Amino acid sequence: MNNYIIGTCGHIDHGKTALIKALNGFEGDTTNEEKQRGITIDLSFSNISNDKQNIAFIDVPGHEKLVKNMIAGAFSFDCVMIVVSASEKIMPQTTEHLQILSLLGIKNAILTITKKDLVEEDQLPSITKEIEEYVKEYGFDLLFSTTVSIYDENSIKTLKEKLFSLNANTKIEENFFRYYVDRVFSSQGAGTIVTGTVLGRPIKINDKLFICDIKKEAKIKNLQVHGIDSEVSNISNRTAINLNGVKTNDIKRGFVISKKGYLRGFDTIDISFDSLKNRELKHNQSYSIFIGSKKIEGKILLFNSTESLQNGFAMIKTSEPIFSIYKEKLIIRQGNDTIAGGEVLNPVMDPMKKSQKLELLEALKKENISKAFEILLNAHKKGLGLVSSAQRFALSHEKALEYAKNLENTFIDEKSLVLYPKETKNIIKDSIKNIYIKNQFALLSNASIQLRLKWASESFIETVLEELLEENFLVKDGNLYKNSTIIEDFKSRLESAVLERLEKEDLAPTAPYNIYDDLDLDRKMGDDILKALCAKKAVIRLQHNLFIHAQSLTNIVQEMKNIIKEEGYIDIANFKKKHPLSRKYLVTYLDYLDNFSQIKKDGNKRIFLSEFL
């Protein structure tokens, strides 16, 4: 079944909610305040459907003080039904709604002139033409125009038939599921329920979702699409999600729900913007930012002015993270005034020079993704992850790889999905060479080198190691690499080096991995060497990561026995007076003392058995 969303717009009392009720019987104004005041205050959601089409309606408030609620619904429109009273024609809120929808990039529009019974029939063509011309000034594609009265069933029937004849879904299936929460509530026996519009990919019951704003996973217990239980919810479906594993109070309108690993939040994003006529954005001033169903306060920092601009590039700095994607639309307001509309160009913040950033924004504005890749790659000498392409460019991993493969002088690690400028190979090469020049007995594997160069993938390191083998700088021994100029027995030399290190560290030996790293020794090889030294009883293993030179252990055992002879016992306090070591070592040596038959443990003290006194 084809799904699309129609949102209403128009001035207060022009009949939006009454029109929806005439189309599907849904009473939108349900709260006591709405009924008492006779106006729509918040969003309401309903639908009509036949065998082939399902049309969801989002009815938005028309009052000037409730524009924030209107914007919260407008981001998910596929098409807007512009509702204008035949008797009053274009009014202030009609204009502001048109401005906002135009800034959000919504093109598909239906003009529905209501209350036609309040004017003479022969006036309707000229009224329709006048309003059509006004609407077209805002760049809308008018799919059709019609005049109706809720008291004229034929006019409502005609409108409904025209709606079912449309295929107005404008949403593009993205690479992952996204969903802005517009309502959250608790239902007895069900728990937490959120409502919103499915963006991107479909979801199904038992899927695990990720609530980005609170970094928490939750499982889908149930789905309802337009009030009917469903196994799956597709793009443009108005959907209620029953979540398991999260409390109602933890979620707010504007939160973003997705799948784990796709979206990162940033408190700065880069945008392009266009202001309304006679309006400008001012540098370093605070504004209200509306993105999806979220409202957030932020400061605008212009790129090309320290005063104000009608349009251009800007950075938005906010007090909390924004989970946005490339080309996502937003609205910028101040107080009750709409100032500008923006488009997210750079949702993922990177440390870059201003000149690089401006070049990047120009490329992104023109949708020149290849150029954007080149600029970012130049700014990320130590690797650019393709995993972020879903958010950064709205690209799948496969499509991102296609772009990457067309770049020149680039190394692509397809397994890790990371790009490197080929010149970065020299950084890796110099780093490896420095290790072996500094320590001619270094013995490292690819994995060991990667632990030191965490930003470099093993695949990229492997290409460098192959070059160093070809240059006869290194030779390979199994999966280890050693200096080609050393011909003596490596194992004996390395055993001596480890033993010397433990002898020097005496009673406070460091963890084995620290020794391996300092000696430029592969960790597995290091473990094998320690095992060999333990087998020879040159080294004693006291705990998982605590190895001590055998002579050092013999010495400390004798000193502990001497303390018992002198003071009648040993515990942590008098032991520490003689040997100010950390508690970790003191406890370990005292525990080791329990292995001797002449020692007895008495509470926290160790003493000699009476026959050894």
Give a three-class secondary structure readout of 165-220: CCCCCCCCCCCCCEEEEEEEEEECCCEEEEEEEEECCCEECCCEEEEHHHCEEEEE
Are 58 and 140 found together in one domain? yes
Residue at a domain's end among 208, 242, 258: 258
6 and 162 in contact (C-beta within 8 Å)? no
Confirm whether 378 is domain-assigned: yes
**Residue 38 above 70 pLDDT?**
no
| Of 20, 160, 8, the residue nearest 74 (C-alpha) | 8
Are 288 and 341 found together in one domain? yes
Q: What is the pLDDT of residues 520-560, one digit of tens each?
A: 888 888 998 999 999 999 999 998 889 999 999 999 999 99
Residue at a domain's end among 164, 194, 212: 164
Are 12 and 154 found together in one domain? yes
Instruction: Return the pLDDT at 228.
Output: 84
Confirm whether 458 is domain-assigned: yes
Are 407 and 334 found together in one domain? no
431 and 439 in contact (C-beta within 8 Å)? no
Alpha-carbon 491 to chain mean position: 47
Instruction: Return the pLDDT at 65.
Output: 46
Q: What is the pLDDT of residues 462-507, one digit of tens each?
A: 999 999 999 999 999 888 998 988 766 777 888 888 999 999 999 9
Are 152 and 184 found together in one domain? no
Amino acid at 326: Y
Residue at a domain's end among 258, 284, 307: 258
| Of 247, 321, 329, the residue nearest 77 (C-alpha) | 329
505 and 546 in contact (C-beta within 8 Å)? no
Give the number of domains in the chain. 6
Instruction: Return the pLDDT at 55.
Output: 84
Confidence of residue 221 (pLDDT cuts 50, 70, 90): very high
Q: What is the pLDDT of residues 248-291, one digit of tens each?
A: 999 999 999 999 999 999 999 999 999 998 899 999 999 999 99
Are 249 and 341 found together in one domain? no
Q: Is 198 left (phi over 0), alpha (psi -120 to 50) or beta?
A: beta
Average pLDDT, the chain: 88
Instruction: Return the pLDDT at 200.
Output: 87
* Tokens of residue 530, six digits: 């320690």
Confirm whether 48 is domain-assigned: yes
Mean pLDDT over 203-231 rounds to 93
Cα–Cα distance for residue pair 209/200, rounded to 1 Å: 14
Mean pLDDT over 291-299 rounds to 93
Query: Residue 159, Cβ neighbours under 10 Å: how many?
Result: 20
Instruction: Return the pLDDT at 611.
Output: 54
If you search the block for the tokens 């070049």, which residue do you land on? 359
Burial class of 386 by CB neighbour count within 10 A (0 to 12, 13 to 18, 19+): buried
Helix boundaries (H) for 366-457: 369-379, 389-392, 397-405, 424-438, 446-452
* Tokens of residue 607, six digits: 């003493």
> Reduced to 3 DSSP states, what percent helix, strand and coil does the chain have, rounded to the nearest 5?
35, 30, 30
Q: Give the CATH number of the domain where residue 279 resides.
A: 2.40.30.10
Are 49 and 192 found together in one domain? no
Confirm whether 494 is domain-assigned: no
**Residue 167 above 90 pLDDT?**
no
Q: Which residues contact 387 (CB under 8 A, 6 or more apart)?
A: 261, 397, 417
pTM confidence score:
0.77
Are 443 and 543 found together in one domain? no
Instruction: Return the pLDDT at 609.
Output: 84
| Of 487, 484, 549, 483, the residue nearest 521 (C-alpha) | 483
Confirm whether 462 is domain-assigned: yes
Helix boundaries (H) for 104-152: 124-136
Which comes out higher in pLDDT, residue 280 or 73? 280
Burial class of 301 by CB neighbour count within 10 A (0 to 12, 13 to 18, 19+): middle
Confirm whether 568 is domain-assigned: yes
Mean pLDDT over 66-80 rounds to 74
Secondary structure letter of residue 115 according to DSSP: -
DSSP SS3 for 14 = coil
| Of 245, 52, 260, the residue nearest 166 (C-alpha) | 52
**Residue 66 above 60 pLDDT?**
no
Confidence of residue 16 (pLDDT cuts 50, 70, 90): confident
H or E segment and range at residue 552: helix 550-567
Secondary structure letter of residue 521 according to DSSP: B
Q: What is the pLDDT of residues 406-430, one digit of tens each?
A: 999 999 999 888 999 999 999 999 9
* Tokens of residue 307, six digits: 């005063």
Are 602 and 558 found together in one domain? yes
Q: What is the pLDDT of residues 41-56, one digit of tens each?
A: 346 778 888 877 788 8
Instruction: Return the pLDDT at 29.
Output: 40
365 and 377 in contact (C-beta within 8 Å)? no
Are 242 and 98 found together in one domain? no
Confirm whether 490 is domain-assigned: no
H or E segment and range at residue 532: helix 523-535
Cα three-residue angle 118-119-123, rounded to 5 degrees:
160
498 and 533 in contact (C-beta within 8 Å)? yes
Cα–Cα distance for residue pair 518/526, rounded to 1 Å: 11
Burial class of 350 by CB neighbour count within 10 A (0 to 12, 13 to 18, 19+): middle
Instruction: Return the pLDDT at 1.
Output: 61
Q: How far from 439 is each of 333, 424, 442, 494, 521, CA to CA, in Å?
A: 62, 23, 5, 12, 10
Cα–Cα distance for residue pair 147/158, rounded to 1 Å: 10
Structural domain for 387, as ranges: 354-421
* Tokens of residue 580, six digits: 């100010």
Q: What is the pLDDT of residues 114-163, one digit of tens each?
A: 999 898 899 999 999 999 999 999 999 999 999 999 999 999 999 999 99
Confirm whether 417 is domain-assigned: yes
Q: Give the CATH number of the domain where residue 89 resides.
A: 3.40.50.300
Are 410 and 433 found together in one domain? no
Query: Residue 51, Cβ neighbours under 10 Å: how many?
Result: 6
| Of 519, 511, 517, 385, the residue nearest 453 (C-alpha) | 517
Q: Give the CATH number of the domain where residue 553 resides.
A: 1.10.10.10
DSSP SS3 for 6 = strand
Q: Give the CATH number of the domain where residue 470 resides.
A: 1.10.10
* Tokens of residue 76, six digits: 């998910």
Cα–Cα distance for residue pair 291/322, rounded to 1 Å: 9
Instruction: Return the pLDDT at 61.
Output: 62
Are 558 and 409 found together in one domain? no
Instruction: Return the pLDDT at 97.
Output: 86
Give me the torsion for CA of 279, 284, 286, 287, rounded to 10°. Answer: 40
